[in-house]
Structure 1
């Protein structure tokens, strides 16, 4: 075992995993980078005649900018500050951010204002049904555009081996899909039960209630639910829970 806590991080294999590793190093831990998500753009672009347009991720913001999408008269909604910041960086003015950074939070915010309105939801192929169902129930005319697909990289799974060996101190799950892909990678290696057992002795940290629900449904203990839905908060609170934060 290393003197520093070993923390698994599952961010996509781009600047996000690099930034995550740097942050964990600053927090006095040894990162175990194991990207569990790979982005495959569909080439689709959001419709331009919606009254409201909803974005759920930094990736989505980058893809619509590449596609040259313009907001026009649409009210631009972002679930979470990271998504809003990414939209702003791409030159899009964000009109609405729900107080609770979840699909349910956005539905609660828009309920009562979107009846009879056209609402465009632009996101990945693994978006929660909560958003679409909630907006439909609120009386909106909802259209979904899949901007990208999220797949599991072939090389994913190092963290499962570390967990199975009992050498992992924390794991940072940033979506339900990272939970599912972690367990699939472990199963492919014949280590699923051992990896789950290894996480019993680690801090399992998740970015929000939907991810917590998925983790629990798959038999993982949840020790930390980030107080804010962003990676830095997740990392800091998880490391603090190990008793090792600088």
Structure 2
């Protein structure tokens, strides 16, 4: 008989979490949903600019709901999920970086934005790498905080499971999910035990920034997918966490 593979996922409590649970279930794992992020919209929208940069599906959807439009701006999206949300809103996506990260966006735009105004629309936890890189390339950069990311009340049951050795895998989808997981563990006085439990499990990070945050906090990372894609992350975590023997 194959041992149960329990995999925690920390996505916001919306269709992303529902889709993650469905995916993990289809892979034969037991999903442990524990939202570590809540989205609080600010109502802000970017001003007119030569370039508008969107860094998340959430941001694109909030702007669409507000009635905002990029107008004549060159619309840049960090990756295919954000681009899909922008196209669903009826906008033309002009540019996508090869690498779906702040560094990839800077590499994409650096040669073209000198003297231009670039509006960066994102959450309150965006990396300074993007802003600093675009300014170094000669752009005037205006950041618009579309939403704040907070730790939901009551989050953290998965930290107790980790501390008890009851998780076989976890899927961290941003640096903030790592930080909030550890904060929730600390609130329950199980931080050290939870980290030890993670290090006995298969830890997946969706990209290098998330991996670096985990490692900096004493968490060993076993899986980083080639693409910053949740489905690929989940598949690799389940594959690595699945027992290779039968009792």
Given that 2:165 and 2:197 are in contact with CA atoms closer than 8 Å, whether structure 1 keeps it comes out as yes
Given that 1:36 and 1:156 are in contact with CA atoms closer than 8 Å, whether structure 2 keeps it comes out as yes
- 1:168 is paired with a residue whose SS is coil
Number of residue pairs aligned between Structure 1 and Structure 2: 243
Shifted more, 236-245 versus 155-164: the winner is: 236-245
Structure 1: how far apart are the matches of 2:96 and 2:55?
A: 10
- 1:95 is paired with a residue whose SS is coil
Structure 2: how far apart are the matches of 1:244 and 1:105?
A: 36
For residues 161-194 of structure 1, give each alpha carbon's deviation from its aligned partner in whole angstroms, at most 9, with x where no partner exists: 1100001111100000000000000000000000
Structure 1: how far apart are the matches of 2:113 and 2:175?
A: 28
Structure 2: how far apart are the matches of 1:244 and 1:135?
A: 46
Q: Say whether 1:208 aligns with 2:192.
A: no
Structure 1: how far apart are the matches of 2:90 and 2:20?
A: 25
For residues 41-64 of structure 1, give each alpha carbon's deviation from its aligned partner in whole angstroms, at most 9, with x where no partner exists: 0010111x2111000111101100
Q: Say whether 1:24 aligns with 2:39.
A: no
For residues 35-88 of structure 1, give each alpha carbon's deviation from its aligned partner in whole angstroms, at most 9, with x where no partner exists: 0000000010111x2111000111101100111111111110111111111111
Aligned-residue offset at 1:244: 5.8
Matched residue, 1:86: 85
Matched residue, 1:9: 9
Structure 2: how far apart are the matches of 1:90 and 1:230?
A: 21
Aligned-residue offset at 1:155: 1.0
Matched residue, 2:52: 53
Structure 2: how far apart are the matches of 1:123 and 1:94?
A: 16
Query: What pairs with 1:63-212 in structure 2 (closer than 5 Å)?
Result: 63-212=62-211
Given that 1:28 and 1:244 are in contact with CA atoms closer than 8 Å, whether structure 2 keeps it comes out as no
Distance 1:157 1:113, change over 3 A: same
Aligned-residue offset at 1:3: 3.1
Structure 2: how far apart are the matches of 1:116 and 1:213?
A: 33
TM-score, length basis structure 1:
0.96
Matched residue, 2:216: 217
CA RMSD in angstroms, aligned pairs only: 1.2
Aligned-residue offset at 1:100: 0.3
Structure 2: how far apart are the matches of 1:4 and 1:27?
A: 12
Given that 2:5 and 2:242 are in contact with CA atoms closer than 8 Å, whether structure 1 keeps it comes out as no
Given that 1:44 and 1:146 are in contact with CA atoms closer than 8 Å, whether structure 2 keeps it comes out as yes
- 1:225 is paired with a residue whose SS is coil
Structure 1: how far apart are the matches of 2:231 and 2:88?
A: 19
Structure 2: how far apart are the matches of 1:187 and 1:111?
A: 41
Structure 2: how far apart are the matches of 1:22 and 1:64?
A: 27
Which segments of 5 or more consecutive residues in structure 2 lack a partner in the other structure? none
Structure 2: how far apart are the matches of 1:68 and 1:221?
A: 43
